[in-house]
Amino acid sequence: MSPFRRLAFVVNPDRPGAAELADELLEIAGRAGVKQTKLNKGRKLPRGYLKGCDAVCVIGGDGTLLGVVRSAAREGIPIIGVNRGSLGFLTAFSADEARMHFAALLGGEYRLAHRSLLECKIGPGRRDVALNDVVIKNEVNSRLMRIEVYADDELVTDYYADGLVFSTPTGSTAYNLAAGGPIIHPAAQAIAMTPISPHTLSNRSIIFRDTVKLRVVNRTDDARLLVAMDGQRNSVVTGSSIEVSLAPRRLALAQPKTYSHFAVMRSKLKWSGGLTEKR
């Protein structure tokens, strides 16, 4: 793979050891021949911060990485995720792995995983993208809502529920999983739609093909919908419909060549093996 020679860092200073690790990796980058580095300590990126960079190294948890997704996708550069958080589904490198392999990674020893993004249209000229999910709820959290969902202008069904989760395969292990949705391999091209606490027991997740255009229509009297993108950005929708589809562009995540998706699942979700034979 191509080496990284212009590198940006995004560090969550609230994560223990993140700032110190950033200093170590900056030093390694300098010794590895990286020509240009920049460092941002905080989740909010200055406008154009990633412009001209080959990659961005995010040090923190999954939430820190999700905060960089829009900018990285816009610039078409990969994210190197180093985990200093708790769960770390998206951050592929531990702190020790980063220290050990960072020079080799910067020299081209990595692979790229291209992940689907959701595009959400919430009004005229208002579009946003999400790596994990788009969650739609009533603006008033204590109230149920009634909404209709259309797939390519065909009615799917109407829901009376706490909300809906639209998930990418990458985000299938996040809110989608907590709401009872399925785990989807991240290489799949699909959208999962999972109702949150539906009032009809037969309402279950639906998996849509990659080209589907979904439309959510608010049928709740005197209510506005809250749309959350990756749990990071919330918008209150005053209009009656929201559109969700896969975005035309994807996000690249830099991973070790030995990265195993199922090893991560076994570790993070604490999957166990078969029954142990009694002796």
In 10 A of CB 257, how many CB atoms? 11
Per-residue DSSP letter, 93: B
Whether 115 contacts 253, CB under 8 Å: yes
Nearest to 131 by CA among 113, 156, 146: 113
Tokens 């506005």 correspond to 224
Whether 35 contacts 5, CB under 8 Å: yes
Catalytic site residue from 54, 62, 128, 162:
62
Q: Is 133 assigned a catalytic role?
A: no
Alpha helix segments (H runs only) across 39-94: 62-66, 69-75
Distance CA 194, CA 212 (A): 16
H-helix or E-strand spanning residue 37: strand 36-41
Q: Enumerate the active-site residues.
A: 62
